Structure 1
């Protein structure tokens, strides 16, 4: 059973396949299409690697392949190829965050009351002297 999520189409994967490393040693590799779909799903959802649905393959494989390909520059080559083909821009934002702040955080110490100009305050006598 395949759950709803992100899945590369055959056409999309056919464009990516020539850009992927072909060096395979040891155990047979998990299907690249499944793994890339899983990586994109995790990145789009903002979830943890451990929370990736099992349909994408072993979670450790998703993480390891993402990290190894990043170190080899595979992702940058994919982005460059997509940008050259009229896809997204050459550099894109993959992650962002939002930080909530309480209402009182906008004014700094003492709130957001208007302050007197420094020039006017300097022209007046000090408040500590009668």
Structure 2
């Protein structure tokens, strides 16, 4: 006789799984084995009585299904937010590309005649734009 648990809620999931497998095996074998495994015990054994174990397994499955629904909704919301963020990033990259292109159009020949085009910018905005656009050095956009 097992009296380790006062309530089916306290029976570890592994014990419930093991017991469900035993009950399935007893059903398959049939006869005395089935009758013995499906006998109700007095006092009730929360980790052995078939009706209690099956009912608790059903309850836990319902709880898992509800938790899964909640998680799925959370993941769906997170995915939608990630898609919105990705769209916003693309928009910002387009704006940064347009700003960079506009700055290049306004460029003037370097005063020392080196042939480099320069635009007077404060706070290294050119480098920041290149960083945002993942452009190394002076290479043109898209290359």
Task: Report the TM range for the smaller structure's normalisation.
Answer: under 0.3
Look at both structures and tell me which one has the larger radius of gyration over its CA atoms: 2
**Which structure's residues are more often helix, by fraction?**
2
